[in-house]
Amino acid sequence: MKKMVIGTFATALVISGAVAISAFAEDDVKISTEQSNKFIGIEKAKEIALKEATGKFDSVELETENKKTYYEVDIDVDKNKEVEVKVDAYTAKVLSVKESDNDDEDEDMEASVKTTSTTSLISEKDAIALAKEKVNGEVIKFELDSDDERYEYEIELLTKKGEAEIKIDASTGIVLELEYDDDHDDNDDDNN
């Protein structure tokens, strides 16, 4: 009789533990789903980063590392120094501020691009609007870059089907390139 009571008690304990774990797992899924709809956005991340470091905005990218999602904002402080500011994508809390030597490969190219004034470029807001006209998704990376002796906006968007990368001529607003990266394909282009 004692064994039966202990066995029943142990079975009830195991079942209640499984139910509790399942409930916690469902809560985690709900939190993740709710959070994914509540990113602070690139503009807010940029604004926060520029309060941490005075300089010229260089790029912003949405990153996930160790289950933590954040915006990594790069700011050029001067010719030889840049600051990387990590901003939590949900709470807008500054996670870190790191200063480093500016090893931007585009510095030499930018010297030759000086013929194009940055004041004649389309705005970041307009570039994002152009990208969203072509691709329905959320911007996860935004960068002003110089390539082929011209300024380009490189924008990555997260879509329902994967990621899309679009390059826009920063002077004219013309879409130069549009690539889709389907997360469900069998080819891993990164290893080729």
* Domain C-terminal end among 102, 122, 155: 102
Q: Which region among 64-73, 101-110, 139-148 has the lowest average model confidence (pLDDT)?
A: 101-110
Same domain, 109 and 192: yes
Return phi, psi of residue 107, to 5°.
Answer: -60, -45
Same domain, 50 and 98: yes
Q: Tell me, what CATH number does 74's domain have?
A: 3.10.450.40
Same domain, 169 and 122: yes
- Sequence-separated (6 or more) residues with CB below 8 Å from residue 36: none
Same domain, 91 and 109: no
C-beta neighbour count of 135 within 10 angstroms: 20
Domain that holds residue 126: 105-192
Check residue 48 and give its pLDDT.
Answer: 95
Q: Kindly give the pairing relationship between strand 150-159 and strand 138-147.
A: antiparallel
3-class secondary-structure state, position 70? strand
Give the count of domains, the chain.
Answer: 3
* Domain C-terminal end among 102, 127, 147: 102
Same domain, 23 and 43: no
Which pTM was predicted?
0.56
Same domain, 134 and 121: yes
CA distance 112 to 109: 5
pLDDT of 129 over the 80 cut: yes
CA distance 177 to 27: 41
CA distance 134 to 12: 56
pLDDT of 131 over the 70 cut: yes
- 6 falls in which pLDDT band (50, 70, 90)? low
* Domain C-terminal end among 54, 85, 102: 102
pLDDT digits (tens, 9 = 90+) for 57-80: 888 888 888 888 899 999 999 888
